[in-house]
Chains A and B, each alone.
Chain A
């Protein structure tokens, strides 16, 4: 698809895409804060459901009151970035120091 190539190789398009990425990062953080400050009503309904339910196990449908660290506003964003960095660097460190060998390691 030559038009796809022409479009993507164009430096102006690349710039636009980078701006779009930054914008989406900021927007998603704003949305994260919004969700944190004003949880939507739909979470309340299952909570009432749980009261009436016979076999209410201790933590039923509690996505609105899960773990302590999830209370941090943009937890997923921070988690994603840090874990990505740690995984990438950690995996490469593990690889270079322990397990990675030349291709013909088993054939020698």
Chain B
């Protein structure tokens, strides 16, 4: 391959670059980080389609570079967004945050270019660990807790993924190729679950609105782009033809997800949590697109509907990273400059943070699909694919989600944060580096809106998108109708949609409350249960020690206790009982007391008599008797002895 520029894996640029960050300080470090980001963009630009960077590993061959249109498309947006976000994060002093962020981006690129399942898994896990650091660096108690929950969910997801990969390998004779899984089997289902957790599909999505608002200001911006979009990429690569007996489950999951996220976003008060629920909704569009592709899969290759759907998913992912990153950058700027993150505490910010407001509105228009912004040119492809497939319910659900999107992100949040009642907050626009980062993203949002062919040219299936004209008159007018009348609806309902200072319970209630209940069970019933065995053993030990101090006296005490018990049960207690109790109490108190010294000779005579009697019983009497009769005799003897002793006590001669 002469005459071509040798490229390195972009993942390596970020990962190796990350490890060297702590060596630089101050402005040099900032320049170095930007240099890495730019180098990665150029690297992706110069990559040619093909399969590269094969590594032998055990008996397999790992493919670290599977380059084709789909992976290049995602790699472009990852690296471009990384540049904008690096600008935004330039002023963070802690080196560890930058290292974590770059490791995160690098491993996301690693997944995108992975050609086999083992490589996917390795980078998947690195992503989980690097991103949890971005949550923990905020260093508040809530962030630490949220980070733990995030990590738990992602570790479970990773284990499911690994299990699925292993099962899949067994089903397919050891093949680790990462291509389309078109049938349902235990292996593919587990892999799907692992991917779905990262894609934040309900009911496994609660980690996203839990952790993203608790991350650092800049960390949350990075996180929006990579975890969920990497999951979308692997779903598009692996599950674009996946149906369970012909039922395209991803299509329905995606449509429900789109509406679910929007409903919770309408209820939410914390601005970043509102946007995080929005991510669930928008990723729902992408998952739905993959499902539409699966539902329209034909036996002769990939049908035109499937191609359009995949194109729509890729395009939407591209645009989503840009406008969601910009939304989080603006929300982060608000929190950074005002210290407040709740809509109930904000208002009237357009006066003091006008640039932030403008950037926010650009992103809000993009996400809502306003013509001339990039959401209009990308979201509509997926809806168009639904139309092509003739699927009316899905089409309507996606349109409902679009209305809700505009309502929550485009109307409710800006109205109550930037406009509306002035909360009198003293703030100003964020520092220049953040504005530059926001500016890059905003510029691209508008650019891809007015000149969509820039985006369409890098989509996976060029043939399917070639005839698509987003700015057809009917389409533009239809979108404007939807948006303007949603605005009218908002104005009518404004009072009802006021933000409230509450949280909304989500599916994480099950493991959060469930965790509390689990710990309670461990600490109370189960602990007492296990404690009992310890206590019982100690009691046995104590008893044997006590008994061994003066066995004869101890035996006497035990029998007296037994007899006293029998006496108190029986009716007609006499004065003898009370004195017997007193005598017993004295005996216990004086225990071990002096060894019983009656008559030394008497003791030996007694012992001799006992032994001789025992010999008599064992050797002379026992052979002639059965076991039962011997036991019976023994019981009779014991009862007689107790009876004698009780009579003694009754008569008051105990002692």
A84-B399 contact in complex given A94-B263, A99-B506, A101-B502, C-beta closer than 8 Å: no
Could you list 26 A-B pairs, sorted by A, with CB under 8 Å? Answer: A2-B351, A4-B350, A39-B474, A55-B304, A57-B303, A57-B305, A59-B305, A59-B390, A63-B387, A67-B395, A77-B481, A77-B485, A80-B403, A80-B484, A81-B485, A83-B403, A84-B486, A85-B492, A91-B266, A100-B500, A100-B503, A103-B501, A103-B503, A105-B503, A105-B505, A106-B512
- What residues of chain B have their CB less than 8 Å away from a CB belonging to chain A? 262-264, 266-267, 296, 298, 300, 303-305, 350-351, 354, 384, 387-390, 392, 395, 399-400, 403-404, 407, 467, 469, 472-475, 477-493, 496-497, 500-506, 512
Chief secondary structure at chain A's binding surface: helix
How far apart are the CA atoms of A28 and B474 in the complex, in Å?
Answer: 11
When C-beta atoms are compared, the residue in chain A nearest to B407 turns out to be: A84
Check B481 against A66 for contact (C-beta < 8 Å). no
Check B475 against A63 for contact (C-beta < 8 Å). yes
A99-B267 contact in complex given A28-B484, A55-B303, A81-B485, C-beta closer than 8 Å: yes
When C-beta atoms are compared, the residue in chain B nearest to A39 turns out to be: B474
Check B482 against A32 for contact (C-beta < 8 Å). no
Residues of B contacting A88 in the complex (Cβ-Cβ under 8 angstroms): 266, 407, 489-490, 493, 496-497
How far apart are the CA atoms of A85 and B395 in the complex, in Å?
Answer: 19
Check A89 against B303 for contact (C-beta < 8 Å). no
Residues of B contacting A31 in the complex (Cβ-Cβ under 8 angstroms): 477, 480
Check B485 against A85 for contact (C-beta < 8 Å). no
Instruction: Among B479, B489, B506, point to the contact of A85 (Cβ < 8 A).
Output: B489
Q: How far is the CB of A10 from chain B (nearest CB, A)?
A: 14
Q: How far is the CB of B500 from chain A (nearest CB, A)?
A: 7
Check B469 against A84 for contact (C-beta < 8 Å). no
How far apart are the CA atoms of A92 and B499 in the complex, in Å?
Answer: 10
When C-beta atoms are compared, the residue in chain B nearest to A31 turns out to be: B477
Residues of A contacting B500 in the complex (Cβ-Cβ under 8 angstroms): 100
Residues of B contacting A46 in the complex (Cβ-Cβ under 8 angstroms): 467
Query: What is the number of residues of chain A that contact chain B, defined by CB distance less than 8 Å?
Result: 59
Check A60 against B392 for contact (C-beta < 8 Å). no
Residues of A contacting B350 in the complex (Cβ-Cβ under 8 angstroms): 4-5, 8
Q: How far is the CB of B368 from chain A (nearest CB, A)?
A: 11
Residues of A contacting B501 in the complex (Cβ-Cβ under 8 angstroms): 103
Check A40 against B489 for contact (C-beta < 8 Å). no
Check B407 against A79 for contact (C-beta < 8 Å). no
Check A58 against B489 for contact (C-beta < 8 Å). no
How far apart are the CA atoms of A5 and B348 in the complex, in Å?
Answer: 10
Give the interface centre of B473, B486, B493 by most chain A CB atoms within 10 Å.
B486
Q: Does A76 contact B (CB under 8 A)?
A: yes
Check B351 against A76 for contact (C-beta < 8 Å). no
Chief secondary structure at chain B's binding surface: helix
When C-beta atoms are compared, the residue in chain B nearest to A5 turns out to be: B351
- A14-52 contacts to B, CB under 8 A, are 21, 24-25, 28-29, 31-32, 35, 39-40, 42-43, 46, 49
Check B484 against A92 for contact (C-beta < 8 Å). no
When C-beta atoms are compared, the residue in chain B nearest to A1 turns out to be: B354
Q: How far is the CB of A44 from chain B (nearest CB, A)?
A: 12
How far apart are the CA atoms of A60 and B308 in the complex, in Å?
Answer: 10
Check A92 against B481 for contact (C-beta < 8 Å). no
Check A58 against B493 for contact (C-beta < 8 Å). no
For the A-B complex, the count of residue pairs with Cβ-Cβ distances under 8 Å equals: 177
Residues of A contacting B390 in the complex (Cβ-Cβ under 8 angstroms): 58-59, 67
Q: How far is the CB of A75 from chain B (nearest CB, A)?
A: 8
Q: A88-B490, A91-B263 are in contact. List 20 more A-B contacts (CB 8 A).
A: A1-B351, A21-B484, A28-B484, A32-B477, A39-B474, A57-B296, A57-B298, A57-B303, A57-B388, A60-B304, A61-B467, A67-B392, A67-B395, A79-B403, A80-B481, A80-B485, A84-B488, A88-B497, A98-B505, A101-B504
Check B486 against A80 for contact (C-beta < 8 Å). yes
Instruction: Among B354, B475, B482, B496, point to the contact of A77 (Cβ < 8 A).
Output: B482
Check B483 against A80 for contact (C-beta < 8 Å). yes
When C-beta atoms are compared, the residue in chain A nearest to B505 turns out to be: A99
How far apart are the CA atoms of A4 and B418 in the complex, in Å?
Answer: 13
Check B493 against A32 for contact (C-beta < 8 Å). no
Q: How far is the CB of A27 from chain B (nearest CB, A)?
A: 9
Residues of A contacting B489 in the complex (Cβ-Cβ under 8 angstroms): 80-82, 84-85, 88
Instruction: Among A5, A59, A75, point to the contact of B387 (Cβ < 8 A).
Output: A59
Check A81 against B488 for contact (C-beta < 8 Å). yes
How far apart are the CA atoms of A75 and B475 in the complex, in Å?
Answer: 12
How far apart are the CA atoms of A90 and B486 in the complex, in Å?
Answer: 15
Instruction: Among A4, A39, A77, A92, point to the contact of B266 (Cβ < 8 A).
Output: A92
Check B472 against A91 for contact (C-beta < 8 Å). no
Give the interface centre of B303, B390, B399, B504 by most chain A CB atoms within 10 Å.
B504
Q: How far is the CB of A22 from chain B (nearest CB, A)?
A: 9
Residues of B contacting A82 in the complex (Cβ-Cβ under 8 angstroms): 489
Residues of A contacting B504 in the complex (Cβ-Cβ under 8 angstroms): 95, 99-101
Residues of A contacting B296 in the complex (Cβ-Cβ under 8 angstroms): 57
Residues of A contacting B407 in the complex (Cβ-Cβ under 8 angstroms): 84, 87-88
A92-B497 contact in complex given A4-B351, A63-B474, A81-B486, C-beta closer than 8 Å: yes
Residues of A contacting B267 in the complex (Cβ-Cβ under 8 angstroms): 91-92, 94-95, 99-100
How far apart are the CA atoms of A67 and B391 in the complex, in Å?
Answer: 9
Residues of A contacting B493 in the complex (Cβ-Cβ under 8 angstroms): 84-85, 88-89
Shortest Cβ-Cβ A-B pairs, 3 listed: A84-B489, A80-B485, A76-B481
Check B477 against A79 for contact (C-beta < 8 Å). no
Give the interface centre of B388, B389, B481, B512 by most chain A CB atoms within 10 Å.
B481
Check B266 against A25 for contact (C-beta < 8 Å). no
Check A60 against B388 for contact (C-beta < 8 Å). yes
Check A76 against B502 for contact (C-beta < 8 Å). no
How far apart are the CA atoms of A47 and B2 in the complex, in Å?
Answer: 46
